[in-house]
Amino acid sequence: MKAIRFVVFAALLAAFVSPAHAAEQTLEGTLVCAKCYLKRADAHECQDVLLVQAANGAKSEYYVKKNEVAEKAGESCTTQVKARVTGTVSEKDKDGKTWVIPSKIEKLPADGEATRGRAGA
């Protein structure tokens, strides 16, 4: 009987703990600002959004949660910045937004910049 209780308890514990420790994902796309670049009516201040293009051409928007990592990377504001964001992705919230809590943000060179300076190499 104790073994059954233990198994049930372990299963319940795993069910409640697992969602809190969602696996990190790495997303690559273009960082833009919801207010300044996308002109979202509900954006009252600068808010980074990672636009990720799928193979079928559809774009997904991942709102970047402001934390120490995001602050260190800086806001994109009126520019478009190619970036790779690693973090925990949430389900869509009540406003239909998908959020990513970044643990790492890498700004990537724009197309053509990666080969500049290597002509003589």
> Above 70 in pLDDT, residue 88?
yes
Q: Has this prediction a pTM greater than 0.75?
A: no
What superfamily does domain 23-107 belong to in CATH? Nucleic acid-binding proteins (2.40.50.140)
Report which DSSP code applies to 3.
Answer: H
What would the pLDDT profile of 5-52 be if each residue is shown by its tens digit? 544 455 544 544 444 557 999 999 999 999 999 999 999 999 999 999
Residue 71 CA to residue 107 CA, distance in Å, equals 13
The answer to whether the beta carbons of residues 48 and 80 sit under 8 Å apart is: no
